Amino acid sequence: MRTATLEEMRVAATGNVNMSSEVSSSLTMSNLNPKTRGPLDDFVSAQARQATLNSKWRKEERKAVCQRIGRFFFSSGIPFNIANDPYYLPMFEGTVNYGPCFMPPSMHELRTWILKEEVTNIHKMLDEHKKSWKQYGCSIMSDSWSDGKSRCFINFLINSPANEVGEANVVQIIADNGSNYVNFGKRIMETRPHIYWTPCAAHCIDLLLEDIGKMKIHPDTLTKAKGVSVTPLVSVLREVDSEEKPCIGYLYDLMNMSKEKIAMDCGYNEKKYGPIWKRIDDRWIKQLHRPLHSAGHYLNPQLRFEERFSSNFEIKKGLYECMERMLDYEERFKVDVQLDSYDHLRGQFGSQIAMDSRKVRSPTDWWMRFGGRFGGQTPKLAKFAIRVLSLACSSSGCERNWSTFE
């Protein structure tokens, strides 16, 4: 049918009407009497060749379009990681769905009605976040960087506007591990009795990797140990640097598991893994570890009821320190009593579905389902657990957020 239409158009262009009827008649007869297939037709396909040509043409066409997009990035100095932005692909999908006649917005449109409508959308989204402040709490992250003129800037990233959040909804401040930040953190904890200062876990582990890299090499002991120690610690760094899930309920276990993996890779030869463990303990005990990490470990149902879980003095001490700092006496008393149900798997905590789903649900979802809002018997404990387990343990998000302006 398409071939016939093309032939008729060619004939119409020449003005030969008789030829047009002959062509139409010929094509009609051709359709009624299809060509008999020969012995070579099983090995030759014009359609496959056409598909191959189209495929090659499409690849070249895509290459040309990608080069145009790249040129826009390069000429405007746009960071490459913008291509990972969640709004990057939807932008092109919307353009394709509109069709070839789409005209991109002008500079005037971007700075007027498009900006105003996006601000309205952001405020609507913020209204939803405001509802969760009391339940999940907020973290304030800080990070410093220097511009081209060597001027030092300190950036603060807050889940929401600080004057609207309220001090009661701020659980912790995450900062770098420099001495100035340490002094700042101590002053915050002295003047704000309900807020914790915690060092950035990603930065601490990065420093730990540098410590291991600077160790003196003894051919018989440390050469292999340095190699096998990196992989487990890099895995921990990848976890704490991720924004896919809050990591504070996993950090304590991740550090213990990394030490165990290092010892195993060294054949449990203390001469090999001992110096590595010492570097880890120096950073973990003296710099990184905080009561919030212990509380998160204890309240994480994915770990609490494992056979390898050890409720040692350090963990319990950190849990009770968090309760004392984050709760008033009446709340602390109720949470302390309700902890018995969690520890001994009473009520819904001991149900089959609670035990089976603790590995499937996130820790916060598990607590909402079995401890709090859906008829759970430990609402105060659930509220406390959710606020702890919702916290981040690194300020990497702040660093990435401002990297565009460096």
Dump pLDDT digits (tens) for 284-296: 988 899 999 999 9
Give the type of residue at 344: H
Look at residue 86 and tell me whether its pLDDT is greater than 60.
Answer: yes
Q: What is the pLDDT averaged over residues 97-102?
A: 92
The lowest-confidence range among 141-155, 188-202, 224-238, 362-376 is 141-155
With a threshold of 0.75, does the pTM exceed it? no
Model pLDDT, residue 183: 83
> How far is Cα 141 from Cα 173, in angstroms, rounded to an integer?
6
The stretches of 284-326 forming alpha helices (DSSP H) are 291-299, 301-304, 313-326
> How far is Cα 254 from Cα 362, in angstroms, rounded to an integer?
17
Name the pLDDT band for 143 (thresholds 50, 70, 90).
low
Percent of the chain whose predicted confidence (pLDDT) is above 70: 74
> How far is Cα 333 from Cα 311, in angstroms, rounded to an integer?
21
Q: What is the pLDDT averaged over residues 93-103?
A: 93
- Six-digit token pair at 29? 């007869």
Burial 17-28 (b: 16+ CB within 10 A, else e): eeebeebeeebe
Look at residue 304 and tell me whether its pLDDT is greater than 90.
Answer: yes
Residues facing residue 141 across a β-bridge: 157, 174
Look at residue 47 and tell me whether its pLDDT is greater than 70.
Answer: no
pLDDT digits (tens, 9 = 90+) for 1-46: 444 444 444 444 344 444 444 434 444 444 445 555 555 455 445 5
Range of 123-127, 138-142, 193-197, 216-220 with top mean pLDDT: 193-197
What mean pLDDT is reported for the chain?
80
Q: What is the pLDDT averaged over residues 231-238?
A: 90
Range of 100-109, 179-188, 242-251, 368-377 with top mean pLDDT: 100-109
Cα angle 259, 323, 161 (rounded to 5 degrees) comes to 95
**Other beta carbons less than 10 A from residue 149's beta carbon:** 5
Q: How far is CA 329 from CA 230, 323, 333, 342, in A?
A: 44, 9, 6, 20
Look at residue 163 and tell me whether its pLDDT is greater than 60.
Answer: no
Q: What is the pLDDT averaged over residues 84-111?
A: 94
Residues facing residue 142 across a β-bridge: 156
Question: What ranges do the domains of the chain cover?
Answer: 201-396
**Other beta carbons less than 10 A from residue 230's beta carbon:** 15
Look at residue 317 and tell me whether its pLDDT is greater than 70.
Answer: yes
> How far is Cα 255 from Cα 117, in angstroms, rounded to an integer?
46
Coil, strand or helix at 153: strand
Model pLDDT, residue 192: 87
**Other beta carbons less than 10 A from residue 236's beta carbon:** 22
Look at residue 364 and tell me whether its pLDDT is greater than 90.
Answer: yes
- Six-digit token pair at 145? 């960087």
> How far is Cα 57 from Cα 188, in angstroms, rounded to an integer?
63
Give the type of residue at 150: S
Looking at per-residue pLDDT, the higher value among 193 and 177 belongs to 193
Model pLDDT, residue 102: 94
Model pLDDT, residue 242: 81
Q: What is the pLDDT averaged over residues 361-373?
A: 88
Model pLDDT, residue 129: 75
